[in-house]
Amino acid sequence: MANAARAYSRSTAPKRSSSMRVVPGKRSEGLPSNLFFGVRVFMVIIAVFAVVAFVRIGFASATVTTSIETQDLNTQVEALRSGSAHLEVTESSLANPTTIKSTAVKKYGMYAPYEVNSIHLSEDVVAFDEAGNLSLARSMARTTAS
């Protein structure tokens, strides 16, 4: 490496000539400031338009989703109404006394009784006092009176 450093020392380095010249003249002003203001206003208008468009798309999407859900709910309501009507018909046919009697005879072998007896109970011997508690003394008095 020492030999390479000597080979390119300052004294032997090639001299470069400068190809740049300085020409006196006027400085360019660039684009007018009105143009930049117009571009800014245009960009703001585009941004506002984009925000309004996104909001409208969001509302349209929400409207479509709500419409689909409403149709699904209407379908479910109609299905439940149909099922409810079927259950009402079934309930009325099962609650019919003739159907109950024929089912009792066919399935369970039950028949109506030939005669009916009644049991008459006397007055209850249990008595209560004015506070609503059971009273043993009044109950004993009723028992002996009967």
Domain positions in the chain: 37-109
Give whole-number Cα distances, 38 to 29, 33, 144, in Å: 18, 9, 116
pLDDT at 2: 53
pLDDT at 60: 96
**Is the dihedral angle over the CA atoms 44, 48, 49, 50 positive or is it negative?**
positive
Cα of first residue to Cα of last residue in the chain, in angstroms, is: 141
pLDDT at 36: 85
Calculate the CA 109 to chain-centre distance: 53
pLDDT at 18: 66
pLDDT at 23: 74
Contacts of 93 (CB under 8 A, 6+ apart): 99
- Output the tens digit of pLDDT for each of the chain's 146 residues: 555 555 555 555 556 666 777 777 776 666 677 888 889 999 999 999 999 999 999 999 999 999 999 999 999 999 999 999 999 999 998 889 999 889 999 999 998 888 888 887 777 778 888 888 888 888 888 888 76
Give whole-number Cα distances, 145 to 53, 93, 139, 140, in Å: 96, 53, 10, 9
142 and 125 in contact (C-beta within 8 Å)?
Answer: yes
Q: Which two tokens stand for residue 137?
A: 């003394």
Alpha helices in 96-135 (DSSP H): 97-108
